[in-house]
Structure 1
Amino acid sequence: MHVSRHALIISLLALAGAGLLVGTLFSYPMLGLSLGLLAWSLKQVRQFNRLNDWLQREDGSEPPEADGAWGDLFDELSRMQKRSRSREQYLRGIISRFQQSSAALSDAIVIIDSQNNLEWWNRSADRLLGLKAISDRGKPLINLMRDPRFVRYFRKGHYQEPLELPSPVNSDLQLQYQISKFGEGDRLLVARDITRLLRLEQTRQDFVANASHELRTPLTVIRGYLETFLDQELPRPLQRGMEQMQQQARRMEGLVTDLLLLSRLEASQHISDEHPILIQDLIQHMHQDAVALASGRGHSFQLDVDSEYDLLGQATELQSAFSNLVFNAVRYTPDNGTISLRWWVDHKGGHFSVSDDGIGIEAMHIPRLTERFYRIDESRSSASGGTGLGLAIVKHVLVRHSAHLSIDSKPGKGSTFTCHFPPDMVVPIRAVGSDAG
């Protein structure tokens, strides 16, 4: 383009000089110069019109033939146009490949812009969510997905945990929604059909519940006969064996009870109704039971209970969850240890914690503590009489109450298990009293 500018200047000087020379021959040098400049200008206008016509065609045709600066300009623009078309074809190919691959996915994929409007989705979204390409593009998502649970999930903006709901177009399908943020306020919604997985999980739960229920009768019979035999005078080796059998039978009964409770908790993700549970009295009773369980071991207990606020929920479920934490602290805290029970309320909601100064837990075990039958030390757990289901029960009870469990522990310094409840599950004691009245 630098050469073209020089050529343009040279052509201007050539025509101006020729006009000036011709005008001088006829004694009109300024007229000749003006005519030369006019001729040069008309030539530039003609070439500009040719360029404009070529650019407006946009049909990929070759540029007009021209000499000098205009020829160089046409050639350079033609090369730029070819590069642009090649780049456009490449990008169109990428988009086409993306659309083809996303159309092959069984999961629904939806792109939502920063204004919460539908921007793009794949074919599975038509099938699973009922979106229509012709009429729904550009519409707000929550105008089409009207389930209040989905609307709350979408608006809260925290998508660490997925949401499970029936499909809006087929209630027999269960979908798992996961939202991710990207760009400047845009969101990517992925809806996955998990109906088969839920059916398999339901089959597993039914099997565990039925098997546990069927085990109750034989265990009751075995324990009854063992108690009858132990009431009689038996040889010492036989009596020792009978006592161990009775101990294991009790442990199996506890396991069956926990399995049945866990199956019932897994049947629903939310409690059916909620009532004040009188948490102060509940903690007091748990304290008394813990003192009885720790009899002769020298444990000391500390209570710090906020008397201004109560907790809403299912009393039997919360008692089971809290007592599991308290009794675990008693079982796994060495003799002469200290155990603290605390209930307090702040702007984040209500909190119940159980702390001990026992041997603590290594960090590698903490993420798996709420798994069924997960044991840090098999021999220690067996000796304590635990079933390995206590923390799994705690987790499911808290999930049903929209709460969560946090664990803070360091080897040699003890552990703290804290149940965190949202603010809407906490109610002032005065409000409870006035409602009851």
Structure 2
Amino acid sequence: MHVPQHALLIKLVLCGLIGLATGALLGHALAGFSVGLLVWAAYQIRRFNQLSEWLQREDGAEPPEARGAWGELFDELARMQKRGRAREQYLRGIISRFQQSSAALTDAIVIVDNQHNLEWWNRAADRLLGLRATSDRGKPLMNLLRDPRFVRYYRKGHYQEPLELPSPVNSDIRLQYQISTFGDQDRLLVARDITRLVRLEQTRQDFVANASHELRTPLTVIRGYLETFLDQELPRPLMRGLNQMQQQARRMESLVTDLLLLSRLEASQHISDEHPILIHALIRQIHEDGEALATERGHRFVLDIDPEYDLLGQENELQSAFSNLVFNAVRYTPDNGTITLRWWADTQGGHFSVTDDGIGIEPMHIPRLTERFYRIDESRSSASGGTGLGLAIVKHVLVRHDGHLSIESVPGEGSTFTCHFPPDMVVPVRRAE
């Protein structure tokens, strides 16, 4: 917008000259000049007041009629106002469409500002989270979603993995929370109803648990008779077949045991309570079991244990997870290899790692290693006697302890499996004792 200043100056000079000439004719030149300037000023003030009144109106009225510089100013402002209204209407349309589309979503969507206060949410959030548009806007999120597990998840600030919790409105509804950050540390919270998926998963778990439990009895009977037959003096071909049957029966028993354990771990995402664990004694016991398993393999074990810190959790679950990692290292490390067990704590939490100098793992297999029954090499896994469930058990034990598993491996050089635990699960040794 440009208003020609020379036009205003010309009018100012003309008013002054006219006043000066009129005053000179009347014998008061200076007074006439002043009156001329006052007339010009009064005209400008009147136009300014007209402009101010028009700008304050919101009914879209046409600008006041004027000529010259003021006319150009009014016209330019009118055009800017029309463009602004069109832009505002366009943006309102976008916001309206966004609100309509988000209202149609079945997932709850909540926007939280950088002060952790509720800024906006859709209708599904009213139904799933119990938020009220009339009273909850601007309130802290923690005052409305008070579950300690959600509060801990929110405050950690690490949202790579979603969180599953019952709905605060209806405990029969299972929600999956996912948080993303955007802008100036604002957060977008999405809560998805996964009740149906949870029920399907529960049905699968119940089936696996029941089937595994029912298999125990016939397997026990079969193994009992096999042991009885093997104690007899029987022909060599028959003994060979009975030995193979006994090996497969033991393998099936291990599979059933792992399936039952995995089903129990999957029954809940968190441990019911936490107990101080003498982690040093636990690792040494697992070390002895690993040495017994590797008696004929010639493996060398190295222990590197931080004596200052212990761990909180469920000892039997952690023993199962750590044992699986150590026994896998024994099975898949060539004879006379080195296996290192390490426990340490730092500002990131507690860590237990098992390192071997075995055959290693190709990078494409690493993301899928914790899947049930996933095998890199079927023949190698069968020969080792593994069930294909060990790392799945490790994963679920760590999830229940708010931890996670990391895997580093170089083909031909070895692998390192590390269990990471949060800082609040690590305690000084003297406290545990």
User: Normalising TM by the smaller chain, what interval?
Assistant: over 0.9
Aligned to 1:296: 296
Q: How does 1:30-49 map to 2 (within 5 A)?
A: 30-49=30-49
Which letter does structure 1 place at the counterpart of 2:8?
A: L
Contact 1:23/1:33 (CA < 8 Å) preserved in 2? yes
Write out per-residue CA displacement over residues 185-217 of structure 1, whole angstroms, 9 at most, x where no aligned residue.
322211111111111111110011011111122
The reply to whether residue 92 of structure 1 matches residue 92 of structure 2 is yes
**TM superposition shift of 1:65:** 0.9
**TM superposition shift of 1:2:** 4.9
**TM superposition shift of 1:97:** 0.8
CA distance in 1: counterparts of 2:314 and 2:23, whole angstroms: 109
Aligned to 1:123: 123
CA distance in 2: counterparts of 1:416 and 1:16, whole angstroms: 93
Aligned to 2:199: 199
Write out per-residue CA displacement over residues 125-148 of structure 1, whole angstroms, 9 at most, x where no aligned residue.
111111111111122222222222
Partner SS state of residue 135, structure 1: coil
Contact 1:4/1:70 (CA < 8 Å) preserved in 2? no
Aligned to 1:141: 141
Which letter does structure 1 place at the counterpart of 2:280?
A: Q
Partner SS state of residue 133, structure 1: coil
> Which deviates more from structure 2 when the two are superposed, residues 279-288 or residues 247-256?
279-288
Write out per-residue CA displacement over residues 48-88 of structure 1, whole angstroms, 9 at most, x where no aligned residue.
22212211222111111111111111101100110111111
CA distance in 2: counterparts of 1:428 and 1:37, whole angstroms: 88
**TM superposition shift of 1:234:** 4.2
Partner SS state of residue 254, structure 1: helix
**TM superposition shift of 1:25:** 4.2
CA distance in 2: counterparts of 1:319 and 1:107, whole angstroms: 39
The reply to whether residue 60 of structure 1 matches residue 52 of structure 2 is no
CA distance in 1: counterparts of 2:41 and 2:247, whole angstroms: 111
Which letter does structure 1 place at the counterpart of 2:160?
A: Q
Write out per-residue CA displacement over residues 314-358 of structure 1, whole angstroms, 9 at most, x where no aligned residue.
222222111111110110001111112223334443322211111
Q: How does 1:165-176 map to 2 (within 5 A)?
A: 165-176=165-176
Aligned to 1:7: 7
The reply to whether residue 362 of structure 1 matches residue 366 of structure 2 is no
CA distance in 2: counterparts of 1:103 and 1:424, whole angstroms: 39
Partner SS state of residue 344, structure 2: strand
> Which deviates more from structure 2 when the two are superposed, residues 80-89 or residues 409-418?
409-418
TM value normalised by structure 2: 0.93
CA distance in 1: counterparts of 2:423 and 2:393, whole angstroms: 22
Which ranges in structure 1 are unaligned for 5 or more consecutive residues? none
> Which deviates more from structure 2 when the two are superposed, residues 149-158 or residues 175-184?
149-158
Contact 1:339/1:356 (CA < 8 Å) preserved in 2? yes
Partner SS state of residue 204, structure 2: helix
Aligned to 1:71: 71
Q: How does 1:4-403 map to 2 (within 5 A)?
A: 4-403=4-403
Partner SS state of residue 342, structure 1: strand
Partner SS state of residue 364, structure 2: coil
Partner SS state of residue 303, structure 2: strand
**TM superposition shift of 1:112:** 1.5
Partner SS state of residue 407, structure 1: strand
CA RMSD of aligned residues (A): 2.1
Write out per-residue CA displacement over residues 204-243 of structure 1, whole angstroms, 9 at most, x where no aligned residue.
1001101111112222233233333333444444433332
**TM superposition shift of 1:404:** 2.1
Q: How does 1:405-424 map to 2 (within 5 A)?
A: 405-424=405-424
User: Residues 155, 309 of structure 1: CA spacing in aligned structure 2 closer, same or farther, 3 A cutoff?
Assistant: closer
User: Residues 359, 44 of structure 1: CA spacing in aligned structure 2 closer, same or farther, 3 A cutoff?
Assistant: same
**TM superposition shift of 1:410:** 1.1
**TM superposition shift of 1:249:** 1.8
User: Residues 347, 117 of structure 1: CA spacing in aligned structure 2 closer, same or farther, 3 A cutoff?
Assistant: closer
Contact 2:332/2:358 (CA < 8 Å) preserved in 1? yes
CA distance in 2: counterparts of 1:302 and 1:279, whole angstroms: 16
Write out per-residue CA displacement over residues 130-167 of structure 1, whole angstroms, 9 at most, x where no aligned residue.
11111111222222222222222223333222222211
User: Residues 140, 36 of structure 1: CA spacing in aligned structure 2 closer, same or farther, 3 A cutoff?
Assistant: same
TM value normalised by structure 1: 0.93
Which letter does structure 2 place at the counterpart of 1:406?
A: S
**TM superposition shift of 1:302:** 1.7
CA distance in 2: counterparts of 1:330 and 1:235, whole angstroms: 35
CA distance in 2: counterparts of 1:310 and 1:44, whole angstroms: 83
**TM superposition shift of 1:120:** 1.2
Contact 2:277/2:432 (CA < 8 Å) preserved in 1? no
Contact 1:4/1:73 (CA < 8 Å) preserved in 2? no
Partner SS state of residue 202, structure 2: helix
Partner SS state of residue 252, structure 1: helix
CA distance in 2: counterparts of 1:110 and 1:5, whole angstroms: 52
CA distance in 2: counterparts of 1:14 and 1:426, whole angstroms: 88
> Percent same amino acid among aligned pairs?
80
